């Protein structure tokens, strides 16, 4: 009797341990069909349903075979969503298009059937580089914020955000970011070219975030949260403000955190919002201080650490996730820099998105946000000439929309990976392929497979003792739904 009781307890404890590790024994592939959606260079495939296949019995794969191994019962982080930024630039360009093209663009991003089902929107607190000019919501020198007024945003940006929310059925997370305090709050007396927030204006600047959120929510736009500062270690030619790690920690701990908690107990605050290169140091300084850490939902990051050469520093993302598993990771911005209209269909731009998204999700990222969702035929508007690519461009002279490979690569994730999905274990046996897998709340799996090589690759999709034989074109990306 004692032996049986001991064995029962041991089995129960094993089950608890498995559950704590994110492991359950529930998913069965046998009898399921796989639907394949493909985008590939030098083909007509653009998020195209390219085939179906059925799972069959799997034997031990050979070393000569290429395989993607999925373990749906081993789960990791929940997915918050995937989306992009609605900036002044995006909204101003949209307003220049014919009504039918405006609707097409909104559907292309936010309709889950006609488009790619974006579920995240980032937007700017007053002006950023992708605005036609610098502006704030207050009169210069206003130390009471009584002049606070978001009328500027009601012309273009707020209507676009509302259209996006309506099209998405309001199933969208909206968060905000400031690029700079007003000039009078800074030591440089200039919104552009860096400078720092003056100590005497820390509380007023924290109050400014609250005013903005209140004003947007009064317009019917629910705000999930805010980042502390866009790119706090970059002195840019556009709106920018410098915070050392200690500056950001102290502003969060003593001003922004308590102010937001009092006004909006449920709103989230994201720190850093800059490149992967320094994200470990920033997380260490802020999260090691309990009084600052309690206000931080997680770390935001960008992909521009490659500006000085080298490769993306994906390991830094993983290290922050491992060091602070109770905090979240949010990719807050990325784009292809240096606009050139001759490269609208430059395929490596799309592959850059695929590689970044696969690695970021596999390293613990819970949400992923592209930069501008729409720009014009010059890569703007931008009031300092910092032109770049967007997944979709508009030729405002002809009223046409240009869809780039980046749009389709992002869509292979955003269209099939729903908010609250969980990432599951996914591994490849050969380096020419990359993969990430997710299980949605409805139980459907979505596995993204990317081939950046110059040759088509035949591969197995293997789940336990079940497999499907598939093939992916050269320079292609597929989403497998099953």
Tell me the per-residue pLDDT of 431-444, one tens digit each, with 9 for 90 and over: 999 999 999 999 99
Last residue of one domain, picked from the residues 384, 416, 448: 416
Q: Which letter, b or e, does each residue of 352-380 get, where b requires 16 or more Cβ atoms within 10 Å of its Cβ?
A: bbbbbbbbbbbbbbbbbbbbbbbbbbebb
Residues 217 and 117 in one domain: yes
| CA 275/CA 332 separation, integer angstroms | 10
CA-CA distances (angstroms) from residue 69 to 102, 178, 460, 466?
Answer: 42, 42, 8, 10
Could you report the per-residue pLDDT of 21-40, keeping only the tens digit for each?
Answer: 444 456 788 889 999 999 99
Q: At 183, give phi and psi (nearest 5°).
A: -55, -40
3-state helix, strand, coil in the chain (%, to 5): 30, 25, 40
On whether both 232 and 84 belong to a single domain, the answer is yes
Position 220 in a domain? yes
Query: Regarding beta strands 466-472 and 433-439, do their DSSP bridges make them parallel or antiparallel, or are they unpaired?
Result: unpaired
pLDDT in tens, 225-252: 999 999 999 999 999 999 999 999 999 9
- Which pLDDT score is estimated for 4? 39
pLDDT given for residue 26 in this prediction = 62
Q: Is residue 451 part of a domain?
A: yes
Is 16 contained in some domain? no
pLDDT score for 9: 36
Torsion (CA) 358, 364, 367, 371 in degrees, nearest 10: -60
CATH code where residue 307 lies:
3.20.20.80
Domain boundary among 416, 439, 462: 416
Do residues 346 and 452 both lie within one domain?
no
- Asked if residue 313 is part of any domain, the answer here is yes
Same domain, 69 and 186: no
Phi/psi at 158 (5° precision): -65, -45
Predicted TM-score of the model (pTM): 0.94
Give the pLDDT score at 20.
Answer: 36
Annotated catalytic residues are 231, 333
* Calpha distance 251→253 (Å, rounded): 6
Same-domain check for residues 194 and 321: yes
Domain match, 166 and 47 both: no
Both tokens of 119, joined, read 């579920």
Q: Give me the domain span that covers residue 322.
A: 80-416
The pLDDT value recorded for residue 353 is 98
Residue 158: per-residue pLDDT: 98
The number of folded domains in the chain is 2
Residue owning tokens 């992967």:
276
Q: Give dist(CA 217, CA 165) in Å, integer.
A: 13
pLDDT in tens, 145-182: 999 999 999 999 999 999 999 999 989 999 999 999 99
Q: What is the pLDDT of residue 470?
A: 98
Per the CB < 8 A criterion, the answer to whether 77 and 468 are in contact is no
336 in the same domain as 355: yes
Whether 377 maps to a domain, the answer reads: yes
Q: 381: cis peptide before it, omega within 30°?
A: yes
Residues 448 and 408 in one domain: no
96 lies in a domain? Answer: yes
- Using DSSP's 3-state secondary structure scheme, residue 461 falls into strand
Residue 3 lies in a domain: no
Residue where a domain terminates, one of 399, 416, 433: 416
From CA 482, how far away is CA 84, in angstroms rounded?
27
Task: Output the domain CATH number for residue 432.
Answer: 2.60.40.1180
Collect all residues with Cβ–Cβ distance below 8 Å to 339 and sequence separation of at least 6.
375, 378, 379, 380, 387, 388, 389
316 plus 406 within the same structural domain: yes
* pLDDT at residue 31, as a whole number: 84
* Same-domain pairing of 286 and 384: yes
* Tokens found for residue 6: 């001991």
Return the SS3 of 4.
helix
Instruction: Say whether both 141 and 242 belong to one domain.
Output: yes
Within a domain: 8: no
Question: What pLDDT sits at residue 465?
Answer: 93
- Asked if residue 180 and residue 34 are part of one domain, the reply reads no
- For 134-172, letters b (16+ CB in 10 Å) and e give bebbbeeeeeebeebebebbeebbbebbebbbebbeeeb
The stretches in the chain having pLDDT less than 70 are: 1-26
């Amino acid at each position: 009797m004692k032996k049986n009781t001991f064995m029962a307890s041991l089995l129960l404890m094993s089950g608890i341990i498995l559950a704590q590790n994110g492991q359950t024994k529930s998913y069965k592939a046998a009898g399921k069909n796989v639907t394949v959606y493909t985008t590939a260079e030098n083909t007509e495939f653009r998020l195209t349903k390219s085939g179906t296949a059925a799972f069959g019995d799997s034997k031990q794969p050979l070393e000569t075979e290429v395989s993607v191994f999925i373990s749906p019962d081993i789960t990791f982080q929940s997915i918050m969503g995937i989306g992009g930024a609605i900036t002044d630039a995006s909204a101003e360009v949209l307003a220049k298009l014919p009504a039918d093209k405006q609707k097409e663009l909104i559907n292309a991003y936010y309709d889950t059937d006609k488009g790619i089902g974006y579920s995240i929107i980032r937007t700017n607190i007053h002006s950023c580089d992708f605005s036609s000019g610098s502006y704030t919501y207050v009169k210069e020198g206003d130390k009471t914020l009584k002049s606070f007024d978001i009328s500027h945003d009601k012309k273009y940006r707020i209507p676009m955000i509302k259209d996006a929310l309506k099209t998405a059925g309001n199933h969208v997370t909206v968060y905000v970011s400031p690029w700079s305090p007003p000039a009078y709050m800074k030591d440089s007396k200039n919104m552009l070219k860096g400078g720092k927030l003056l100590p005497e204006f820390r509380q007023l600047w924290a109050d400014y975030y609250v005013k903005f959120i209140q004003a947007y929510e009064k317009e019917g736009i629910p705000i999930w949260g805010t980042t502390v500062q866009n790119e706090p270690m970059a002195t840019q030619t556009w709106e920018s403000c410098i915070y050392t790690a200690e500056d950001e920690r102290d502003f969060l701990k003593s001003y922004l955190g308590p102010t937001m908690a009092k006004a909006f107990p449920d709103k989230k605050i994201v720190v850093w919002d800059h490149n992967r290169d320094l994200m470990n140091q920033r997380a260490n300084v802020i999260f090691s201080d309990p009084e600052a850490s309690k206000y931080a939902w997680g770390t935001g990051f960008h992909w521009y650490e490659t500006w000085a050469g080298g490769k993306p520093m994906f390991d830094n993302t993983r290290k922050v996730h491992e060091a602070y598993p109770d905090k979240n990771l949010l990719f807050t911005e990325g784009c292809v820099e240096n606009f050139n209209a001759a490269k609208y269909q430059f395929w490596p731009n799309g592959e850059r998105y695929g590689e970044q998204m696969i690695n970021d999700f596999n390293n613990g990222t819970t949400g992923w946000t592209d930069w501008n969702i729409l720009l014009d035929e010059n890569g703007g508007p931008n009031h300092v000439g910092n032109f770049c690519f967007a997944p979709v461009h508009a030729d405002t002279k002809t009223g046409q929309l240009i869809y780039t490979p980046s749009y389709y690569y992002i869509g292979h994730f955003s269209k099939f990976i729903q908010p609250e999905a969980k990432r599951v274990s996914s591994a490849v046996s050969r380096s020419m392929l990359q993969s990430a897998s997710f299980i949605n709340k409805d139980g459907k799996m979505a596995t993204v497979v990317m081939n950046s090589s110059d040759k088509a690759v035949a591969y197995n999709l293997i789940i336990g003792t079940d497999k499907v034989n598939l093939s992916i074109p050269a320079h292609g990306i597929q989403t497998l739904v099953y």
